[in-house]
Structure 1
Amino acid sequence: MEIVILPNTAEVGRLAADQIESLLAGKAHAVLGLATGSSPLPIYRELEQRYQSGTVSFARARAFTLDEYVGLPDGHPEQYREVIRKEFTDKVDFDPANVHGPAGNAAGTHYACQAYEKAVQAAGGVDLQILGIGTDGHIGFNEPGSSLASRTRIKTLTEQTRRDNARFFDSLDEVPRHVVTQGLGTILEASHILLAATGANKAQAVRHLVEGPVSALCPASALQLHPHVTVLLDDAAASQLSLADYYRHSFRHKPDWQKL
């Protein structure tokens, strides 16, 4: 796991976009894993600017989203397929047919979850998975207590997560209690995982992710088991890390030939 501490969110977006642009330059049909929430937004804004300037194209790329609310009607502005479309894929040249998300309203949801797993596998797996992290350490919607080997399934949201997400709805009562999410085992099969976290409210979760034990109490800590994880942080999100100075030193002296 490589920890990169940057001065601001714009730099987080720039460095992540560098990696995605490099991936697509070598593999135009690469499979991206797309996350919603506030943490990936600087990445999407930077990629949009690069698309507009002609330095990157998503015309042949494919994408799978992490999760979806259960029970929101099709077209609801907070459905994650709608959020991803509005925040990113509609602003670049992604083919809508190549952007896939788990079904939150499917009859036979268990079988729909299995079908989603098979679709990811049929695409050859995810080349680069973008992640954020919740204040309770969740990634995707794998809440504390999730199995480290879990697959795509229905989960019940914690009240903390519902409160965190209430800002996107008119009231807390409108936030769904259930979601479909890729499991931790599913996420860990991506070739490269890039997690972005910004702001002091993420500092405790980041500390547990990076320097705590691998535990179901902090689902993101499962990323310690993956061979290629890059954690991009601003100073505020890194403020509780005991080894922050070492992480900064390591990145400053990283060999030029070594990529993220």
Structure 2
Amino acid sequence: MSNQIIHRVQHLRELLKHAEATMQSISPLTELYPDLTVEDAYQVQLGAIEQKVQDGQRIVGKKIGLTSAAMQKLLGVDQPDYGHLLDSMAVSNKGTISLNRLFQPKVEGEIAFVLCKDLSGPFVTIEDVLEATDYIAPALEIVDSRITDWKITLTDTVADNASSGLFVIGEERFSLKDIDFPSIKMNLLKNGEVINTGYGSDVLGHPAKCVAWLANKLSQYNVELKAGEVILSGALSAAVAAEKGDQFTAEFSHIGKVEVTFK
């Protein structure tokens, strides 16, 4: 990287770090640097995560975003993106989340893959993912953005750790045996009312295809998916804004449900 790009990447890391520390959202990064590339944005993310690990946090998995055709069209992209999951982001099933720790949270229902083997790209297939998966579980991802009013482009969200916030994994573990992933149905409920519905086929046709994409993408950065990591494979339906007192439940055919409350 040139000195100019190194300086830019460092500046954006500092801006996002300050936003997080002060709970004050910031303008889109692409307004400050209109020519910011996706590769630069990943360097912002990777450096920020590296700093958090040095500060004592632990990487426990990865998340995949922009897996639906609708979201890709909205941001004008033709591929997903990814972010890191840290131990500080985990919330227990049926737990309570204080809105004070979030900017503008939205909730998504997803299928979590927990690995029993490492996965290293660039030639990982759906079959490889299934073989490397210990179990799956229902999950909620609470996406969040340090960018004011969610005015994001692909590069903004990538730099901001793929607009990550928190995540919740159900306690029950489900074997992959006899699971037809594309036909899994998910209802997302807000305060007991079904808000939207999605299917496993809504994320690149198969949730494991999303995990394979991630393993192959990470190989560009000499990173691999590790045994024991949680991989959130992408939202099966649209994200729904969370407000004080809201309870969210994601109910999945075959793999149970997971829930969380905001206070």
Taking structure 2 as the reference length, what is the TM-score of the superposition?
0.26
Q: Which has the higher strand share?
A: 2
